[in-house]
Amino acid sequence: MVTKEKQYVDYADALTAFSTGLGEPEWMLQLRLEALNSIEKLDLPIIERLRYNRWPLFQVPNLTGAPAAKSVDITQFMEDKADAARVVQAGNDTLIETLPESLKEKGVIFTDIQTALKEHSELVQEAYMQIAVKPQKNKISAFHAAFMNSGLFLYVPKNVVVDEPLEAIFIQNSLVEDSFIKHVLVYADVNSSFNYVERFFTAGQEKNAANILVEVVAKQGAQVKFSAVDQLGENTTTYFNRAGHTFRDASIDWAIGVMNNGSTIADLDTNLVGDGSSSDLKAVGISSGKQTQVIDSNVVSYGKSTVGNIYQHGVILDRATLTFNGIGHIIKGAKGSDAQQESRVLMLSDKARGDANPILLIDENEVTAGHAASVGRVDPEEMYYLMSRGIEKTEAERLVIRGFLGSVISAIPLKSIRDELVETIERKLTSR
């Protein structure tokens, strides 16, 4: 891994060799080089209540294309389910890729991004950093576009309904020094419907950066339910950007557990562009130790009669910091739209720092909008009620917290993922 000791444009030759070695199409190389040339000219994205300009997010990855010196044992991160629709990646390598024949026959594509670039180049080009996020959006997106080193492509064709969840497991290889620059593109064609679930882990203790961009493009009438549990390591500094774009009457429902152990920005953006489209975002976070986590949720209504909901709950332990920014924006012309949000934070330590920052930006008159926010401690009346029935204080506190976070947990379609999220919460609470 190389830190920034020279101008990014000086990496043009190495980046060209990297892209050529992977067999990427010409349009992808040009996208990389154009993004590379713009990095220095762009600003960092503004994250309210956070100064992160000194975070080590711009570590240029290994561009040799050589395999990692140490490999990850993936068995500790997954169950053995041979019939599952699943992709498992460790570092930059895809180790498992399974998709039932019935879905292949319907035209579903579920593969690593490099295979998709070779076999489905035109389809990837339609959406890759063209709709939900543009490379020149900000300094971080440009860096990502230039140096992306692994990823996933999921495409569900027109009118196809997938009943079983499609699952991805991404394991950062921190047994070695290398930036984790992962790109996930979820492309839902007209009137398709499916559940997608992803999990992020870290193996190893090396100090690395993670720059992860997830794009969800929902064409007209598509219905996407997106669930995620993020558990990256203590020595990983992370910028997550999950971005959605809805066409007419489409919906993207997010259920996200931000359970990382290192400093993290979770930037969650949904643009409701088509009339009648909607997004329901549920996010939970737990911060512990000395970490800083910010969950920045932004839903923008461009189309008429759109509905955007933001629902965020978080718990803070020890000396940690957790900030919720919720931004609901209704653009001029988006008549009949509805923007609602709720952000609530529980602090379980006198030394914890929490913030809930609701923002409504309304540029149209004929709309509905509202917000609620609170930062506080466990309700003493709830504790009294439980303890009066013989429940120990520690157990009563845990029950209250699980109830507090339960709405997001219940929205995740896979029982194994729900159970894992509960176990993660329990582990963080009992390690105090």
Helix, strand, or coil (residue 193): strand
| Identity of the residue numbered 165 | P
The interaxial angle of helices 26-38 and 12-22, nearest 10 deg, is 160
Helix, strand, or coil (residue 68): coil
pLDDT recorded at residue 361: 97
The pLDDT profile of the chain, 432 residues, written as one tens digit per residue, is 544 446 899 999 999 999 999 999 999 999 999 999 999 999 999 999 999 999 999 999 999 887 887 889 999 898 777 678 999 999 999 999 999 999 999 999 999 999 999 999 999 999 999 999 999 999 999 999 999 999 999 999 999 999 999 999 999 999 999 999 999 999 999 999 999 999 999 999 999 999 999 999 999 999 999 999 999 999 999 999 999 999 999 999 999 999 999 999 999 999 999 999 999 999 999 999 999 999 999 999 999 999 999 999 999 999 999 999 999 999 999 999 999 999 999 998 889 999 999 999 999 999 999 999 999 988 888 888 999 999 998 888 888 888 888 877 887 777 877 888 888 888 887 776
Q: What is the DSSP letter of 10?
A: G
β-strand partners of 325: 296, 357
| Identity of the residue numbered 36 | L
For 235, phi and psi rounded to 5 degrees? Answer: -95, 15
- Burial of residue 5 (number of CB atoms within 10 Å: 0-12, 13-18, 19+): exposed
Separation CA 152–CA 113 (nearest Å) = 4
β-strand partners of 228: 198, 256
Closest CA to 323 of 281, 348, 352: 352
Residues in contact with 122: Cβ distance below 8 Å, sequence separation at least 6, in sequence order: none
pLDDT recorded at residue 379: 82
Q: What is the DSSP letter of 76?
A: G
Q: How far is CA 261 from CA 202, 257, 320, in A?
A: 10, 12, 10
Long-range Cβ contacts of 54-57 (<8 Å, 24+ apart): 55/237, 55/263, 56/3, 56/207, 56/209, 56/237, 57/140, 57/143, 57/209, 57/211, 57/237, 57/239
pLDDT recorded at residue 68: 83
pLDDT recorded at residue 6: 63
pLDDT recorded at residue 314: 95
pLDDT recorded at residue 425: 85
What are the start-end ranges of the H helices in 175-283?
A: none
Residues 316 and 353: beta-carbon distance below 8 Å: yes
pLDDT recorded at residue 26: 98
Closest CA to 38 of 146, 165, 193: 146
Strands 353-362 and 166-173: unpaired
Question: Reduced to 3 DSSP states, what percent helix, strand and coil does the chain have, rounded to the nearest 5?
Answer: 25, 40, 35
pTM: 0.95
pLDDT recorded at residue 432: 64
Residues 305 and 315: beta-carbon distance below 8 Å: no
Instruction: Put residue 79 in one of left, alpha, beta given phi > 0 → left and psi -120 to 50 → alpha.
Output: beta
